[in-house]
Structure 1
Amino acid sequence: MVRYVDEPVRVTVPATSANLGPGFDSLGLALGLRDELEARVVGSGLLVEVTGAGADEVPRDASHLVVRAMHEAFAAMGATQPPGLSLRCTNRIPHSRGLGSSSAAIVAGLVLARGLVGGGSLLLDDDALLDLAARMEGHPDNVAPALLGGFVIAGQEDGGFYAVPSPVDPRISAVVFVPPTPVRTEVARGLLPATVPHAEAAANSGRTALLVAALAGRPDLLATATRDYLHQEFRERAMPESLALVRSLRADGHAAVVSGAGPTVLCFTDGPARPTAGWATGPDDLLRRCPDGWQATHLDLDTHGALLGP
């Protein structure tokens, strides 16, 4: 019989950036910006407390995405639904900006639920958790790095999902430029064409392969490797300022892309504690390129993924 633990469970989950230019629906990277959550089984009812990003927009009932994910995990583990739940969310990942806030919520809910069940990691291992997260999100490119950390190549095959971690050169970090206005993923996806020319698909495949190698140890190739032919330009109508910033940065040789479905722009750079490595302008110079009204942040890449806390 499944037993719930008495003490609260805490988890932190990183922001993520998918696509990274050419790796549409297949590449994802965890970033050093984390949501923090705490859940506890209580005698009755549902209490959801939210502070930070999206606090004025998300529901406080059972439709909250973290709560929905928790109930999915309880069912997958064969547990009866708990008598009541208390959930606290401290959100730092901006919502509807292409930084994986929904994937972080899903992964957090699944990990919290697993932690609240005695022996939960045996009832729902990481492979099963990833599969459940990808089915809830619809694709694995954000949920995989949110769960595993680092740079992940992910996809779907024969009705299931796969996620393969790939190395990242420790010199690489990123600056994210976050605009004040969100764009919903459904809107951005709705602008994509049903087909693309074969030559452009082939070019995109080559850039995606090159990007894996560039991230692993050839950061000098990142500007070339992040060139996209498949999706970014088609989304311009929903985020013209983002595409203008991408073009401006790339014209100066920077590896700039739309993060996920946008509208955030991500630009690869080197770290603040390291001298500029010759392949990138330092982060301080990039931060000065931030458009008025936007927020720019320099982030290291996250290597841990979802972490249970004390």
Structure 2
Amino acid sequence: MRMFSITVPASTANLGPGFDSAGLALNLYLTLHVEKSEQWEFVHQSMHLPPVPDASEHLIYETAARTASIYNSTLSPCKVIVESDIPLARGLGSSASAIIAGIELANQLCELSLAFEEKLRIATDIEGHPDNVAASLYGGLVITSQLQNGDIEVFQKTDAELDFIVYIPVIELKTEDARKVLPEQFTRNEAAKASAVGNIMIAALVSGDYKLAGKLMEEDLFHEPYRSSLIPNYEKIREEAKIAGAYGTVISGAGPTMISFTAKGKGKKVAAQLQNLLPSHQVKILKMDQGGSRVTNDIFNR
């Protein structure tokens, strides 16, 4: 008996200088098809998914169980068929989408009626920062900040006349490895300069000045100078994408994928030129996902 499906979009984060605060939902998806069962079972149906672990060690189950426990609820056993377009460990928010899916799984099974703010708080506690999880939850472009009192503020923009081109290499890069190369501290002057770049970039994105936004995206001082050596063809991709007409090109999340922003309708040209130059990469034209995570009630067999 089919119960429901959960669909969660991929995401890119940072957008250059919006470190750990800017995220964007993209039209690659993680989908769960959930059925009642006598015991927990996960079935993976995608080349992008790893071998299935024991159900109790599955990130989606762990997240669902953690969410249920917060509200003193118990999960009913289910069979979960998992499909995914999102490559793992490539900087496209695969773990964030799984976390959002797990929270929604508990929300549905335990009838918790969680508000978006509650889902985001739980996801941020698990992920450690809200940028990817907020984008996958809400959809669109999101700017987030967790305040000293724990509150998470979210700004969302869902209209953008942009195409997004991602350059996905064959290698993986774990987020924890990409964070190891970052400095532990910045001086006040360094932080002020880096924040100023981020402020202008965000203002330009929100106002629709994509040419300016692209320029500032490539001026990040928080993480890209330290991570660039970990990214295959980093300089080549930025230079050739700009020549082909991209506004700007940055590391997607922690990498190793890179992403270009172009005017709507121009993505095909940029993708074609870069694919010729990067035969070992998978080059995709993506769109902004505007709806975020959603649940579909499937037809019950009677």
Common topology (TM > 0.5): yes
Pick from 18, 26, 32 the counterpart of residue 23 of structure 1: 18
Aligned to 2:96: 103
- Structure 2: gaps (5+ residues): 298-302
Q: Take 2:228 and 2:119, find their aligned partners in 1: how far apart are those partners? A: 35
Q: CA RMSD in A?
A: 2.0
Secondary structure at the aligned position of 2:274 is classed as coil
Once residues 148 and 90 of structure 2 are traced to their aligned partners in structure 1, the CA distance between those partners, rounded to angstroms, is 31
Please list, as runs of the form range in 1=range in 2, the aligned pairs for 1:1-310 lying within 5 A after superposition.
Answer: 8-43=3-38, 45-82=39-76, 84-118=77-111, 120-121=112-113, 124-167=114-157, 169-216=159-206, 217-226=208-217, 227-250=219-242, 254-272=247-265, 282-287=266-271, 288-290=273-275, 291-310=278-297
SS at match of 1:297: strand
Alpha-carbon distance between aligned partners in 2 of 1:136 and 1:27, rounded to the nearest angstrom: 18
Distance 1:159 1:85 in 2: 37
Per-residue deviation at 1:169?
4.5
Residue type of the partner of 1:235? R
Q: What is the CA distance between 1:74 and its match in structure 2?
A: 1.5
C-alpha contact 2:167 2:258 (8 A) present in aligned 1 = yes
Find the residue that maps to 1:70 and give its secondary structure: helix
Structure 1 runs not aligned, ≥5 long: 1-5, 273-281
- Aligned positions, number: 291
Identify which range, 237-246 or 182-191, moves more after superposition.
237-246
Q: Cα deviation per residue 1:137-161 (whole Å; 9 max; x = unaligned)? A: 1111110111011111112222524
Shift of residue 197, structure 1, vs aligned partner: 4.4
Percent identity for Structure 1 against Structure 2: 32
CA distance in 1, matches of 2:45, 2:194: 40
Q: Distance in 1 between matches of 2:224 and 2:168?
A: 16
CA-to-aligned-CA distance 1:88-127 (integer Å, 9 cap, x gap)? 1101111100000000000011112211223x21xx3221
Cα drift, residue 75 of structure 1:
1.3
* TM-score, with length taken from structure 2: 0.89
**One-letter amino acid of the structure 1 residue matched with residue 23 of structure 2:** G
Question: Which stretches of structure 1, 4 residues or more, deviate above 4 A after TM superposition?
Answer: 250-253
Q: Cα distance, 1:180 vs. partner?
A: 0.8
TM-score, structure 1 normalization: 0.87
1:225 deviates by 2.3
- Report which stretch shifted further, 246-255 or 230-239: 246-255
1:162-211 deviation line (CA, Å, top 9, x unaligned): 14123254312211111111101010000001123444422321221222
CA deviation after TM superposition for structure 1 residue 136, in Å: 0.8
